Structure formats: C-alpha cells, structure tokens
Amino acid sequence: MRKIVLMTSVSLDGFIEGPDREIDWHMVDDELHSHFNEQLRPMGAFLSGRVSYELMAEFWPTADSDPSSTGPMVEFASIWRDMPKIVYSRTLERADWNTTIVRDVVDDEVMALKAQPGGDLALGGADLAAAFMERDLIDEYRIFVHPVLIGRGKPLFQGTDTMTRLRLLETRTFGNGVVLLRHQRADTSPR
C-alpha cells in the first residue's frame, strides 16, 4: 500500500509561512533542492490544497525555460509537470498540468487512492495537511526545519484531539543549516 508522506518546510518556531503568506525565508539552495527532487521523483502523485496548487502552477510549468533557473529547478519543473496531481478544493473550477480536482477529503477515497499501484503520495499545504492529520491519514512526516525564527504566521501543526505516536527514521543536516526530521507512524502499518 502506498504511503501518504507530508513533506514540508517550517521555521524553527513551527510556521510554514509568515503572516502575509510569505515564504521568502525558505533556504532552498541547490543541495536541498536536489534532495527534494530525489525524494519527489519516484512519488505517485502530489496531493495539495488549492492555494499550494495555484502557487506551484503559477511558476513551475515554465520554470525550466527561465534562464535564471538553477539545474535543480529545471529538473523539478519537469518532475512537477509530469507528476499526477490531486488538488483538494471546493472552489477551483479548472486545473491543468495533469491535475484532478477533488472537493473533499473523504477517508474511504484516500484509502482507495493509497491502495492503487505506484509510488507514495506527497502531501503539501498546511490546511490540507491539517485535514489529513485530523483524520490520522499521514503515514510519514518529512519536516525540513529552517534555521530562522519568523515570530508569527501559519503554524504547521494546529490543535487536534488525535495523538499519533511516531518513530524517528532519519535526521540529516544540510550545508545551509536546514535539518530534516523524518518520522513514520510508530505502528508502521500505513492507515
């Protein structure tokens, strides 16, 4: 069965974006971006909310034709375009780039998606991650902690009544000071 993998960047104080949705504090250099590409290339699909999808669709479809794009950015543009995408949105009317729109997170539908053949499913976006956490649907967490305190903004982890025990799989420190914390469900059985 495929796993739902939350892969996201956070500030040291736990925010995924600043108070005005800014993410300019992300420290994504070539080393870190190459790591993202290695991890994302074998995935079976990207799962995202509308806001994350629209941000990605605004830049990545043509990023490889921008002369200022680095090698890892050019590589990711191709990964993003080719990867099946599922965007969860009640308002989005149309989506391009190999994208399916789903209106609501429904446990049985997510379980059916996980049962399909193919690579794991990369989950992104704070609101969608919160909906998946609330339903205890995340199998693995890959949290990239950036060495910056932004003070306020949108927290990755919002209040929930669900406790999920996790087991540490890996830590890695990148040259720019970003630290990967990779955990999976302690029971090791994907839900």
The average confidence (pLDDT) of the chain is 93
Q: Is 138 part of any domain?
A: yes
Mean pLDDT of 51-67: 91
pLDDT score at 159: 74
Q: Is 120 part of any domain?
A: yes
> Per-residue pLDDT tens for 160-170?
777 789 999 99
94 pLDDT higher than 70: yes
CB atoms closer than 10 angstroms to residue 185: 18
Q: Is 57 part of any domain?
A: yes
112 pLDDT higher than 80: yes
Domain that holds residue 54: 4-185
Q: Is 150 part of any domain?
A: yes
Residue with the two structure tokens 């941000």: 55
Mean pLDDT of 64-80: 94
Where are the alpha helices (H) located in 11-138, listed in sequence order? 30-40, 50-59, 71-82, 107-115, 126-134
How far apart are alpha carbons 44 and 122 in whole angstroms? 8
Q: Is 156 part of any domain?
A: yes
Domain total of the chain = 1
Contact between 171 and 179 under an 8 Å Cβ cutoff? The reply is: yes
Instruction: Return the percentage of the chain with pLDDT > 70, whole number.
Output: 98
CB-based burial label for 104 (10 Å; 0-12, 13-18, 19+): exposed
Closest C-alpha to 134, from 84, 180, 191, 51: 191
Q: Is 15 part of any domain?
A: yes
Q: Give the pairing type, strands 166-173 and 179-185.
A: antiparallel
Q: Is 190 part of any domain?
A: no
CATH assignment of the domain containing 61: 3.40.430.10
- Of the two residues 124 and 188, the one the predictor is more confident about is 124
Q: Is 83 part of any domain?
A: yes
How far apart are alpha carbons 87 and 50 in whole angstroms? 6
Instruction: Return the percentage of the chain with pLDDT > 90, whole number.
Output: 83
Q: In what order do the strands lie in the sheet containing 179-185?
A: 99-102, 85-88, 45-49, 121-124, 4-11, 140-146, 179-185, 166-173
